[in-house]
Amino acid sequence: MLEIRDLHAAVDGTPILKGISLTVNAGEVHAVMGPNGSGKSTLAQVLAGHPAYEITSGDILYQGENLAEMDAEVRAQQGVFLAFQYPVEIPGVSNAYFLRAAYNAKRKAQGLDEVDPMEFLDFVEAQLTLVDMDPAMLHRSVNAGFSGGEKKRNEILQMAVLTPTLAILDETDSGLDIDALRIVANGVNVLKRPDNAAIVVTHYQRLLNYIVPDFVHVLAGGRIVKSGGKELALELEARGYDWLLEAVA
């Protein structure tokens, strides 16, 4: 589904990713861990198509196509979804309107008819239980005045509505209390299918108690310095990152 080959990326001319290779197959959950500044979030942003990041060399193949050549909105329409570390507030645009615009954009790209507001409301209200969200939140402006946990749950709601093929969760666990973490993780687990995949970017092992990865990769200095199974996350939890950084230094 996703094949990253020797990816180098820079922001404002400063290299951040320095040769990342990673293959993600359908049905897999990959955890990307690493200390602050290792390039985890950059990888997530590059995959989503953030214009601030420049791919300087390497390839990203998504379903056999060159992802780097697609605009952010095309990637989303093709099933790539980034759950933001810091979801953006958009005062003046209601959550319901935003979700429907996104949903219809994807349907349009698939050659399907757009759904009308009433039809969509029925559909989206059925998704709310997944993230334990009050229907009133649909009529508030996107993320405006939401608590940290509400924002993250709203990301998972968007994911539920858009049913991505490749979901990238960028530190979705940061700043969440245990209850919110459980809700978010449950949402991700329920949405998991044999034909989709997830990349879970996180600083802490805690999230991986709830979302069990098939593979764990440790990023440091813009490279993957170690890959392994889920037990690697536990080892990192016990030993920290330093032993790995020393080993590669």
Partner 1 sequence: MTTMIPAPALLSQANAAAATEAPEALRAERAAGAKEFAAVGLPTTKVEDWHYTSVSSIADATFAPMSGNASGVTAEQLAPYIFSTSWPTLVFVNGVYAPSLSQTTLLPAGIRVMPLAHAVTELGDVVARQLGATAPATRDGFTALNASFLGEGAVIHVAKEMVVDIPVHLLFVVNNAGVGGMQHPRVLVLAERHSKATLIESWVGLTDGAYFTNTVSEVTVEDGATLHHLKVQREGRGAFHVGTIEARQGRDSHYVSFAFATGGQLTRTNVYTVLDGEGCGTTLNGLTMLDGSQHGDVQTRIEHAQPKCFSRQMYKSILDEMSHGVFNGKVFVQSIAQQTDGKQTNNTMLLSRTAQVDAKPQLEIFADDVKCTHGATVGRIDESALFYMKSRGIDNETSRQLLTYAFAADVLETIENETIRDELERITMRRFTSVAD
CA–CA dist 148, 143 (Å, integer)? 9
Residue 91 in the binding site for partner 1 (CB under 8 A): yes
Q: Binding to partner 1 by residue 71, rule CB under 8 A?
A: yes
Contact between 17 and partner 1 per CB under 8 A: no
Q: Which stretch binds partner 1 (CB under 8 A): 2-10, 91-99, 213-221, 237-245?
A: 91-99
Give me the least distance between CB of 6 and partner 1, in Å please: 25
Q: Locate 56 and state its tokens.
A: 């300087």
Comparing CB distances to partner 1, the nearer of 81 and 215 is 81
Residue 47 CA: distances (Å) to CA of 9, 120, 166, 199, 246: 11, 28, 10, 11, 29
Q: Kindly state whether residue 101 participates in binding partner 1, applying the rule CB under 8 A.
A: yes
Among residues 91, 96, 216, which one has the least CA distance to residue 144?
Answer: 91
Interatomic CA distance for residues 178 and 216, integer angstroms: 22
The rounded distance, in Å, linking the Cα atoms of 33 and 40 is: 7
Check binding of 76 to partner 1 (CB under 8 A).
yes
Does 98 contact partner 1 by CB under 8 A? yes
Stretch touching partner 1 by CB under 8 A, among 85-93, 131-139, 221-229, 236-244: 85-93
Residue 196 gets which letter from DSSP?
-
Q: In what order do the strands lie in the sheet with 2-11?
A: 14-24, 2-11, 53-62, 65-66
DSSP-assigned letters across all residues of 120-162:
HHHHHHHHHGGGT--GGGGGSEETTT--HHHHHHHHHHHHHHH
Written as six digits, the tokens of 196 are: 């989709």
Among 38, 95, 158, 172, binds partner 1 (CB under 8 A): 158
Work out which of 105, 115, 121, 128 binds partner 1, going by CB under 8 A: 105
- The CA distance from 194 to 179, in Å, is 27
Specify the residue, 87 or 213, whose C-beta has the smaller distance to partner 1: 87
By CB under 8 A, tell whether 13 contacts partner 1: no
Site membership for partner 1, residue 162 (CB under 8 A): yes
Region near partner 1 per CB under 8 A, out of 78-86, 126-134, 174-182, 237-245: 78-86
Which position has the token pair 């997530």?
44
Smaller CB distance to partner 1: residue 158 or 202?
A: 158
Of 156 and 232, nearer to partner 1 (C-beta) is 156
234 is a contact residue toward partner 1 (CB under 8 A): no
Is 84 a residue that touches partner 1 (CB under 8 A)?
yes
Structure-block tokens of residue 106: 């994807």
> Any contact of residue 42 with partner 1 (CB under 8 A)?
no
Question: Given the rule CB under 8 A, which residues bind partner 1?
Answer: 48-51, 71-73, 75-77, 81-82, 84, 87-93, 97-98, 101-102, 105-106, 109, 117, 141, 158, 162
